[in-house]
Every structure is written in structure tokens, then in C-alpha cells.
Amino acid sequence: MIEKFNSLKLTEDHYLRIAEKYGNNYFNEFIESISKIKNFLTLKEFKILWDDKMQLNKVKFDEKAFIQSACELSVASHFCEKENFKVEVKVNAENKKDIDVQFKSNGFICNIEIKCASFEAKEIVQKTDSYKFQSLGRLDNMNDLISIISNSIDEGLANKGEKLKPHKVLKNMDNNLKDFLESAHQKFNPESDDEELNILLVCCDDPADIQSWVGYLTASEGLFTENSFLDPVNYNNVDIVVFTNLYYKHKDFINKNIANSWNLDQTFNLGLVNPYRKKKKINAIDNFYNELINYNNEINQFEVPGNAPNYVKEAIRVPYFVREFLEKEKGIYLFEKRKI
């Protein structure tokens, strides 16, 4: 596989060219992952993966499309040894679009649709030297609250004779998640039985970002709450939503002290069951959780210390759990391994 790669003429900004050039482990992990899955794909499927999705036969590198495909490969290579493994499968006779991955486990069929949002607008704001605001869930008076806080900050700085900074809003991406749910809903079989599980896997960024995505489901007007901003009938074919940090592990890998970008075993995964799913599918859900390393039980049992109100603790649960429990207490680094 390396010989095949070395014969290519990739642009200098291609992620794999950068990784190979600097001897980054990202390249070797890619070779391992794509070599593994090659044995489970048809020649046509592998050609599409190699030439198009990994962009190894294209004259221009598209970072956004590559990261989406890299996340798909990371998931597919994890499950490729399972029974009846398939990629690009139609499971809804009324919809012509494919789901990304399907396999069978202990008699249960698992259908996985993989989504990766574009964080471009958010990343532009994050890179600015400014005060940044973001809510957990939807707040009707968000603009008024920002205005009050911003005025207070500016007044305090002015009184100290310090330079003012712009105030910017990190736009919530709950509409992205709504679109992901609706798209997956339309692709999944609406008549799936108790032995067929429909999973939407969303690739996220850092711990704070994953906290935000959890909030899009569980916070004010969240999609899995009683006051969802969208009628749940639009996504009740989806049984589980899994949030994973695969986007983080691929995006700008060269600037991070990171490993196992292509290995779903070494990612941070959280699964949230859709309370509006058509059927309970308890056994199928339990079986899937055994197939995918996740931190559902640990984070649910984790107590955020301090005397802050519960809603504040819930707003920082994921980052605090990652930093204090996984990294400091357990020595498990699923994001960037920071120098002590």
C-alpha cells in the first residue's frame, strides 16, 4: 500500500502528504486502516475510497470533504470484520440514498449514518481576539443577556483604562444536528424491527464542542426534550445518536500531540438514545454499546465537584469529565496528550 501511495503526485496541502513528509504517525495509521478494510470491499468500492474519498487521484485537496471521508473510514475500518459488513447500503425502499455502514452482530443489524459538520464559521470566531458567547440550548432572551454582559465587561475595562475587545457569538449548530437527524431518518427503514438498530454518528471537535452537541439534544428546547424545537416525528426512525471526537482527531492533526486518529477504539464516544424512537429496541441498543467503546456509564456516574447549581454543572460535565477523570485520574488521553 505504501508503494501505491508513493507513486502518487499529491498537492503539498493534502493531509496525507503532510503526514508522510514529516513522518507523523497519522500516515502510518492511515495505511494500517485502509489496508485492513481493503479486504472487505469490492474493487469498485476500494477505488472510490482511494481515488475519490481519500482524494488520492485528485488535483485539488478539499479539506472539508477529506475529513468527512476520513471519519467514515475510521468507523468502517472498526466494524469491517463484523458479520455481513457492507458500505453504502440502501435500507429504505422509499429513499434512494445510502447509509454509510451496515453490519450484523449477535443477530442484530446495525445501520450507521456518519455525519461531520462544517465548523468553518465557528472556527473563524474562535480564532479572533474577542469575548465569545454561546448558550447551552436555545434561549429566547439570548441577545438581551449578551448585551447586558457585554456592556458590563466594557464598562469594567473602560474604568481600568484597558483596551476593549469585540464581542462575538459562537453560533449554535443545533440546526446542523436537526438536518443530520432528518437526513438519517429519511434514509433508515421506517419499518425496522426490534433486531435492526438505526444509529446516527456525529463527528465532533473538542470536549467543549461535544458538550454543546449534547446540549442540542438535552438542554432548553433540545431535540430529545419534551419541548423540542422540531416535531420528533421528523427523526423517530433514528434510535441512537453517538457523538465522537473523530473530527478533532483529524482536523489539523499536524498541530496536535495526537494518536490513533483512524481508530474508533481510541476515541471519546457518547451515545444518547432517542426517547422518540418508534420501538424500544433495548436488547439491540445494549448489544451495540458492547460493540463500541463508550463512556456513557462513567459520565452518568461522574459528580462535578463544587457548589454551583446543577444546570451549571451539566453545562461543563463533558470537559470536566475528560480533564479530571479520564486524563488526570485514569491517564487516558482521547484528545490531545498535553505536556505536564
87 in helix, strand or coil? strand
Q: Does the predicted model carry a pTM greater than 0.95?
A: no
| Band of pLDDT at residue 142, cut at 50, 70 and 90 | low
49 phi and psi angles, rounded to 5 deg: -65, -50
Distance CA 41, CA 36 (A): 10
Distance CA 7, CA 22 (A): 18
pLDDT on residue 310: 87
Is residue 229 a contact partner of residue 268, using CB atoms and an 8 Å limit?
Answer: no
| Band of pLDDT at residue 3, cut at 50, 70 and 90 | confident
pLDDT tens digit sequence for 147-181: 666 677 777 767 878 777 776 766 678 899 999 99
pLDDT on residue 147: 67
Mean pLDDT (whole number) for 133-152? 64
Mean pLDDT (whole number) for 13-39? 96
pLDDT on residue 1: 73
31 phi and psi angles, rounded to 5 deg: -60, -40
**Amino acid, res. 223:** L
Segment among 45-49, 129-133, 136-140, 207-211 with least mean pLDDT: 136-140
244 in helix, strand or coil? strand
pLDDT on residue 117: 83
Q: What's the sign of the alpha-carbon dihedral 320, 326, 328, 334?
A: negative
pLDDT on residue 169: 67
**Amino acid, res. 304:** V
Q: Which residues pair with 240 in a beta bridge?
A: 199, 273
pLDDT tens digit sequence for 272-291: 999 999 999 999 999 999 99
Q: Which three cell numbers, joined as nine digits, stand for 204? A: 465532533
Confidence check: pLDDT of 144 > 60: no
| Length reported for the chain | 340
Q: Which residues pair with 234 in a beta bridge?
A: none
H helices of 188-336, in order, are 207-218, 246-250, 282-291, 296-301, 310-315, 317-320
CA dihedral 216, 222, 228, 229 (to 10 degrees): -50
Is residue 286 a contact partner of residue 240, using CB atoms and an 8 Å limit?
Answer: no
Mean pLDDT (whole number) for 114-143? 69
pLDDT tens digit sequence for 323-332: 999 999 999 9
How many CA atoms lie less than 13 Å away from 230 in the CB half-sphere?
20
CA 159 to chain CA mean position, Å: 43
pLDDT tens digit sequence for 227-280: 999 999 999 999 999 999 999 999 999 999 998 999 899 999 999 999 999 999
Distance CA 175, CA 198 (A): 21
CA 29 to chain CA mean position, Å: 19
6 in helix, strand or coil? helix
5 in helix, strand or coil? helix
- Name the residue among 281, 231, 254 with its Cα closest to residue 27: 254
Task: Bin 289: left if φ > 0, else alpha if -120 < ψ < 50, else beta.
Answer: alpha
Kind and range of the H or E run holding 152: helix 142-160
pLDDT tens digit sequence for 30-80: 999 999 999 999 999 999 999 999 999 999 999 999 999 999 999 999 999
Distance CA 222, CA 77 (A): 32
Distance CA 143, CA 59 (A): 45
pLDDT tens digit sequence for 73-104: 999 999 999 999 999 999 999 999 999 999 99
Distance CA 340, CA 338 (A): 6
